[in-house]
Structure 1
Amino acid sequence: MLGNEGNDEQRARLVHLAILAVVQSVMATELVFLVAKQQWIHVFLVTGIMLTMAFPVVLKGRFPVQIPSEIQILAIVFGFATLFLGEVRDYYERFWWWDLTLHATAGLLLGLQGFMTVYILNEDCHVDLHMRPAFLAIFAFCFSQAIGAIWEIFEFTMDQVFGLTMQKPMLGDPSGLTDTMWDLIVNAIGALVISVAGWRYLSRARSSYLGDWVRRFIARNPQFFGD
């Protein structure tokens, strides 16, 4: 069993590095054209994305917490779709469903982050904290929704201060309110999926991808889960 998990993790690492290499190559190629066109805002944005994605690999040994490769893959794909395809390649304007899809994905990722954070605290041998599965699920959901709400506040602030249109007209509503509410709704749906999956895993010990990630996280971070 341990051997199979080790092989799965090794394959996941190779896939992670392959996806990162492809994504970085695409953005590096785009960066050349952006420099030639003197689109400096996008040059700065793409450079920042590339550096941010490279940091976890370059500084891997310096992080106290080792994140499973599958989660890192999701983060890379999400960042690429949100910032590069969405902002630089204008997918938000070209595809009406792009923003909603990414907000649903954000709900999943943020719910996963919230679940893993409180799970670590709950299982950490150095922290005297014992929470029921239902509370962990509720926390994961609320964590995701809170971050989603903060992001909507950020969009509103950017629109008001800099005259941007991050909150876009939708379904005949030019104010952006409908866009904001649908963003929060699909974020909640994504968060709910993770919360229910986490609750089922903890309370009923059901097999799931979430359970596999939890086990791999424990295996890679034994310092938090000693006797």
Structure 2
Amino acid sequence: MKNKNINKEFIVIAIFTLVLVITSIYDFFARDGEKLFRIGLTFITIVLTYLLYKKSFLKGSKIIYYINIVFIILSMYLASVWNFYSIPNYDKFLHLLSGAVIAIIGYVFFLYLTIGSSRKEINSLMPMIFVILFATAVAGAWEIWEFTTDSLFGLTAQNNSLTDTMWDIICGTVVGIITSIPIYLHSKGKKIKIIDMIIEDIERNKK
């Protein structure tokens, strides 16, 4: 059963890769290869995502894996390859969504770090504080990455604007804080279905 589940995750990558190949062929002939670099980056990202799913603290967490794949489709494939960034506020929508995604990944990282500990002995504020700091740090790190790629490759992810950069960090941080609230409530003993599913997923697949 476990191998079957892993194959499903690989099949998702294979299908996405096929879509990227078809898109590359179209881009080469219809747009003179304008987006081939971004298509290549998308492929590298999905491969790294799969490797993280297999080898890192995200190992076995299918929920996080599929969330990440969907986010890559929205942010790299649709936004960069098919110019969804031209849609008003699409960029801000992605940064708001990323705040939730990063916060959830941060919580999974916290669970990984506390494996073997009795979570009942951990202060209920700890996971909430960890998630907020993690979301804020990653939101800032992402802007550093965008600045670096813009500078090296002549891209325009930050629109050459400090205001745009700061609003992106604020969006990711605020949603990270909002996402931390149910995590705090769960640590206080309240039943939160999605969090229970994430924990069960990790416990089931690490065996």
| TM-score of the aligned structures, taking structure 2 as reference length | 0.79
The structural deviation recorded for 1:199 is: 1.1
Give 1:225's aligned residue: none
Farther-moved stretch of structure 1 (15-24 vs 136-145): 15-24
Number of aligned positions between the proteins: 204
Which of 149, 155, 159 is equivalent to 2:146?
A: 155
Q: Are positions 1:106 and 2:98 aligned together?
A: yes
> In the alignment, is the contact (CA less than 8 A) between 1:201 and 1:208 conserved in 2?
no
Give 1:119's aligned residue: 111
> In the alignment, is the contact (CA less than 8 A) between 1:19 and 1:73 conserved in 2?
no
What are the ranges of 5 or more consecutive residues in structure 1 without an aligned counterpart? 1-8, 169-174, 223-227
Tell me the percent identity: 21
> In the alignment, is the contact (CA less than 8 A) between 1:12 and 1:70 conserved in 2?
no
| In 2, Cα distance between equivalents of 1:89 and 1:215 | 37
Judged with a 3 Å threshold, the aligned counterparts in structure 2 of structure 1 residues 67 and 96 are, in CA distance, closer, same or farther, namely farther
Measured against aligned partners, the alpha-carbon deviations of 1:10-35 in whole angstroms (never above 9, x if no partner) come to: 99879866755654443222111123
Measured against aligned partners, the alpha-carbon deviations of 1:46-68 in whole angstroms (never above 9, x if no partner) come to: 23423542566689766686332
Secondary structure, aligned partner of 2:59: coil
Q: Are positions 1:83 and 2:76 aligned together?
A: yes
Secondary structure, aligned partner of 1:206: coil
The structural deviation recorded for 1:146 is: 0.8
| TM-score of the aligned structures, taking structure 1 as reference length | 0.73
Q: Look at both structures and tell me which one has the larger radius of gyration over its CA atoms.
A: 1
Judged with a 3 Å threshold, the aligned counterparts in structure 2 of structure 1 residues 19 and 101 are, in CA distance, closer, same or farther, namely farther
Q: How does 1:118-197 map to 2 (within 5 A)?
A: 118-124=110-116, 131-160=122-151, 163-168=154-159, 176-197=161-182
What are the ranges of 5 or more consecutive residues in structure 2 without an aligned counterpart? none
Q: How does 1:196-207 map to 2 (within 5 A)?
A: 196-207=181-192
| In 1, Cα distance between equivalents of 2:178 and 2:133 | 13
Give 1:46's aligned residue: 39
Give 1:29's aligned residue: 22
| In 1, Cα distance between equivalents of 2:22 and 2:88 | 26
| In 2, Cα distance between equivalents of 1:146 and 1:64 | 18
Judged with a 3 Å threshold, the aligned counterparts in structure 2 of structure 1 residues 10 and 216 are, in CA distance, closer, same or farther, namely farther
Q: Are positions 1:74 and 2:67 aligned together?
A: yes
> In the alignment, is the contact (CA less than 8 A) between 2:135 and 2:176 conserved in 1?
yes
> In the alignment, is the contact (CA less than 8 A) between 1:34 and 1:43 conserved in 2?
yes
| In 2, Cα distance between equivalents of 1:103 and 1:55 | 21
Judged with a 3 Å threshold, the aligned counterparts in structure 2 of structure 1 residues 197 and 143 are, in CA distance, closer, same or farther, namely same
Judged with a 3 Å threshold, the aligned counterparts in structure 2 of structure 1 residues 58 and 180 are, in CA distance, closer, same or farther, namely closer
Measured against aligned partners, the alpha-carbon deviations of 1:98-154 in whole angstroms (never above 9, x if no partner) come to: 1111111211111111111122212335x9xx6422121111111111111122233
The structural deviation recorded for 1:209 is: 0.5
Cα RMSD over matched residues?
3.4
